[in-house]
Amino acid sequence: PAPVGYYPLLGGKVVDYICGLARVAEFMGTTQPAEVEQSEIGDGNMNLVFICRGPKGAVIVKQALPYVRCVGEGWPLTMERARFEYMALAEEYKHCPQFTPEVYHFDPTLGALVMRYIEPPHIILRQGLIKGYTYSTLAADVATFLARTLFLTSALHLTAPELRQRVAVWSANREMCALTEQVIFTDPYMIREDRNRWTSPQLDAAVARIRGDTQLKLAVAVLKEKFMTSTQALLHGDLHTGSIMVKDGSTFCIDPEFAFYGPMGFDTGAIIANLLLASCSQPGHATAAEPRAAYADWILDQMVALYTGFEQEFLALWSHEANRKGDHTPQGHFAAGPELGLAQSQFMGRLFSDTLGFAGAKMIRRIIGIAHVEDMESIKDPEQRAACERHALAIAHMLVKEPGSFASIADVAALARDQP
Amino acid sequence: PAPVGYYPLLGGKVVDYICGLARVAEFMGTTQPAEVEQSEIGDGNMNLVFICRGPKGAVIVKQALPYVRCVGEGWPLTMERARFEYMALAEEYKHCPQFTPEVYHFDPTLGALVMRYIEPPHIILRQGLIKGYTYSTLAADVATFLARTLFLTSALHLTAPELRQRVAVWSANREMCALTEQVIFTDPYMIREDRNRWTSPQLDAAVARIRGDTQLKLAVAVLKEKFMTSTQALLHGDLHTGSIMVKDGSTFCIDPEFAFYGPMGFDTGAIIANLLLASCSQPGHATAAEPRAAYADWILDQMVALYTGFEQEFLALWSHEANRKGDHTPQGHFAAGPELGLAQSQFMGRLFSDTLGFAGAKMIRRIIGIAHVEDMESIKDPEQRAACERHALAIAHMLVKEPGSFASIADVAALARDQP
Ligand SMILES: Nc1ncnc2c1ncn2[C@@H]1O[C@H](COP(=O)(O)OP(=O)(O)O)[C@@H](O)[C@H]1O
Ligand SMILES: Nc1ncnc2c1ncn2[C@@H]1O[C@H](COP(=O)(O)OP(=O)(O)O)[C@@H](O)[C@H]1O
Ligand SMILES: [Mg+2]
Ligand SMILES: [Mg+2]
Ligand SMILES: [Mg+2]
Ligand SMILES: [Mg+2]
Ligand SMILES: [Mg+2]
CA–CA separation, A159 vs A155, rounded Å?
6
Residues 183-212 of A with CB under 8 A from B: 186, 189-191
Q: Please tell me the predicted confidence (pLDDT) of residue B46.
A: 87
Please, which pLDDT band fits residue B311 given cuts at 50, 70 and 90?
very high
**Same domain flag for A183 and A166:** yes
Query: Among the atoms of ligand 1, which is closest to the Cα of residue A245?
Result: 26
B312: alpha, beta or left, given left = phi > 0 and alpha = psi -120 to 50? alpha
Chain B residue with minimum CA distance to A233: B229
Q: Please tell me the predicted confidence (pLDDT) of residue A385.
A: 98
CA–CA separation, B316 vs B310, rounded Å?
10
**Same domain flag for B210 and B99:** no
Q: What is the CATH number of the domain that holds B51?
A: 3.30.200.20
Q: Please tell me the predicted confidence (pLDDT) of residue B210.
A: 95
In chain B, the number of structural domains is 2
B107: alpha, beta or left, given left = phi > 0 and alpha = psi -120 to 50? beta
Lowest mean pLDDT across B61-65, B66-70, B251-255:
B66-70
Q: Are the beta carbons of B228 and A165 separated by less than 8 Å?
A: no
Closest Cα of chain A to B237: distance in Å?
A: 16
Q: How far is the CA of A270 from the centre of ligand 3 (A)?
A: 12
Q: Concatenate the DSSP letters of all residues of A11-44 into one string.
A: TTHHHHHHHT-HHHHHHHT---GGG-EEEE---S
Average pLDDT over residues B222-245: 98
**Same domain flag for B63 and B187:** no
Q: What is the CATH number of the domain that holds B358?
A: 3.90.1200.10
Best interface-test mutation with A: which of B218, B222, B229 has the largest number of A CBs within 10 A? B229
Q: Please tell me the predicted confidence (pLDDT) of residue A71.
A: 59
Q: Please tell me the predicted confidence (pLDDT) of residue A67.
A: 79
* A6 part of a folded domain: no
Q: Are the beta carbons of B177 and A168 separated by less than 8 Å?
A: no
Answer yes or no: is pLDDT of B72 > 70: no
What residues does A53 pair with on adjacent strands? A37, A58
Q: What ipTM goes with this model? A: 0.96
The ligand with the least distance to the CA atom of B65 is 2
Q: At what angle do helices A338-368 and A382-401 cross, to 10 degrees?
A: 150
**Same domain flag for A130 and A158:** yes
- Using alpha carbons only, give the angle A58, A60, A63 rounded to the nearest 5 degrees: 155
* A147 part of a folded domain: yes
The answer to whether B353 and B166 are in contact (CB under 8 A) is: no
* A151 part of a folded domain: yes
Q: What is the number of alpha carbons within 13 Å of residue A107 lying toward its C-beta?
A: 25
Residue B377: helix, strand or coil by DSSP?
A: helix
Q: Please tell me the predicted confidence (pLDDT) of residue A191.
A: 84
Average pLDDT over residues B213-239: 98
Q: Which residue has the higher pLDDT, B229 or B71?
A: B229
Mean pLDDT of chain B: 95
**Same domain flag for A325 and A357:** yes
**Same domain flag for A43 and A81:** yes
* B405 part of a folded domain: yes
Task: Give A-chain residues touching B159 at CB under 8 angstroms.
Answer: 178
Please, which pLDDT band fits residue B331 given cuts at 50, 70 and 90?
confident
Q: Please tell me the predicted confidence (pLDDT) of residue A74.
A: 63
CA–CA separation, B122 vs B254, rounded Å?
12
Asked if A157 reaches chain B (Cβ–Cβ under 8 Å), the answer is no
A41 class by beta-carbon count within 10 Å (0-12 exposed, 13-18 middle, 19+ buried): exposed
**Same domain flag for B332 and B399:** yes
Q: Please tell me the predicted confidence (pLDDT) of residue B42.
A: 87
**Same domain flag for B387 and B405:** yes
Answer yes or no: is pLDDT of B213 > 70: yes
Domain boundaries, position B249: 123-418
**Same domain flag for B198 and B67:** no
* B1 part of a folded domain: no
Please, which pLDDT band fits residue B268 given cuts at 50, 70 and 90?
very high
A22 class by beta-carbon count within 10 Å (0-12 exposed, 13-18 middle, 19+ buried): exposed
All residue ranges of chain A with pLDDT < 70 are 44, 69-74, 419-420
Q: Which residues contact A414 (CB under 8 A, 6 or more apart)?
A: none
Q: B106-158 pLDDT, tens per residue?
A: 999 999 999 999 999 999 999 999 999 999 999 999 999 999 999 999 999 99
Task: Give B-chain residues touching A159 at CB under 8 angstroms.
Answer: 178
Q: Please tell me the predicted confidence (pLDDT) of residue B71.
A: 59
CA–CA separation, A266 vs A243, rounded Å?
15
Answer yes or no: is pLDDT of B227 > 70: yes
- Using alpha carbons only, give the angle B308, B314, B316 rounded to the nearest 5 degrees: 100
Nearest C-alpha neighbor of B185 from the set B11, B317, B370: B370
**Same domain flag for B90 and B173:** no
Best interface-test mutation with B: which of A81, A163, A175, A228 has the largest number of B CBs within 10 A? A228
* B5 part of a folded domain: no
Q: Which residue has the higher pLDDT, A413 or B194?
A: A413
**Same domain flag for A266 and A394:** yes
Q: Which residues contact A144 (CB under 8 A, 6 or more apart)?
A: A96, A99, A309, A313
Out of A92, A116, A140, pick the residue that ends a domain.
A116
Out of A81, A116, A151, pick the residue that ends a domain.
A116
At residue A342, what is the residue type?
L
Report CA A241 to chain centroid distance, whole Å: 7
Q: Please tell me the predicted confidence (pLDDT) of residue A306.
A: 99
Q: Please tell me the predicted confidence (pLDDT) of residue A336.
A: 80
| Sequence-separated contacts (24+) of B312-318 with Cβ below 8 Å | B312/B143, B313/B143, B313/B144, B313/B147, B313/B148, B314/B146, B314/B147, B314/B150, B314/B151, B314/B348, B315/B344, B315/B348, B316/B147, B317/B147, B317/B148, B317/B151, B317/B152, B317/B156, B317/B157, B318/B151, B318/B156, B318/B344
Residue A251: helix, strand or coil by DSSP?
A: strand
Out of A84, A100, A116, pick the residue that ends a domain.
A116
Q: N- to C-terminal Cα distance for chain B?
A: 49
* B97 part of a folded domain: yes
CA–CA separation, B253 vs B259, rounded Å?
12
Q: Please tell me the predicted confidence (pLDDT) of residue B70.
A: 63
Q: Please tell me the predicted confidence (pLDDT) of residue A347.
A: 98
Query: Among the atoms of ligand 1, which is closest to the Cα of residue A242?
Result: 25
Please, which pLDDT band fits residue B172 given cuts at 50, 70 and 90?
very high
* A1 part of a folded domain: no
Nearest C-alpha neighbor of A253 from the set A107, A53, A116, A108: A116
**Same domain flag for B212 and B342:** yes
CA–CA separation, B344 vs A351, rounded Å?
24
